[in-house]
């Protein structure tokens, strides 16, 4: 079955360390997205990519980096510059049509101690 896979489900890191969250899709979708979710704050867009080797900053890109070397993969690195990285991170993908909406992964909960 086609889908979008985020790993790991739970991630613990020490303060000051970089950490990379994985997002892989086998839906042949062109566009991929990363969102951050904090309690009571809805979804906030971190980065998105409409095509391989190209990506754009979202509303809260500071302290994060991404790459899009393959259509299937869109990893997110949370750097030490991100001041409050503890959150739930969601990856999504979509086709190039506005009527399709997004398919979401199951999320990664990152806790920095």
Partner 1 sequence: AQSVTQLGSHVSVSEGALVLLRCNYSSSVPPYLFWYVQYPNQGLQLLLKYTSAATLVKGINGFEAEFKKSETSFHLTKPSAHMSDAAEYFCAVSEYNAGNMLTFGGGTRLMVKP
What's the number of CA atoms in the CB half-sphere (13 Å) around residue 28?
1
**Residue that is written with structure tokens 């391989």 in the block:** 52
Residue 2 interacting with partner 1 (CB under 8 A)? no
Q: Which residues in the 62-101 window bind partner 1 by CB under 8 A?
A: 88, 90, 92, 94-101
Binder of partner 1 out of 21, 68, 87, 105 (CB under 8 A): 105
Q: How far is the CB of 80 from partner 1 (least distance, A)?
A: 26
Q: Which stretch binds partner 1 (CB under 8 A): 11-19, 59-67, 74-82, 105-113?
A: 105-113
In whole angstroms, what is the distance from residue 40 CA to residue 33 CA?
20
Task: Name the residues that contact partner 1, by CB under 8 A.
Answer: 6, 31, 40-43, 48, 50, 88, 90, 92, 94-107, 109
């Amino acid at each position: 079955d086609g889908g979008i896979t985020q790993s790991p489900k739970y991630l613990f890191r020490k303060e000051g360390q970089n950490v990379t969250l994985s997002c892989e899709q086998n839906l042949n979708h062109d566009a991929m997205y990363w969102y951050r979710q904090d309690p009571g704050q809805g979804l906030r867009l971190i980065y998105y990519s409409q095509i391989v080797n190209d990506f754009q900053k979202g509303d809260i890109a500071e302290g994060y980096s991404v790459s899009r070397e393959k259509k299937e993969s869109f990893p997110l690195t949370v750097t030490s510059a991100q001041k409050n990285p503890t959150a739930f991170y969601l990856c999504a993908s979509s086709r190039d049509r506005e009527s399709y909406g997004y398919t979401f992964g199951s999320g990664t909960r990152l806790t920095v101690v």
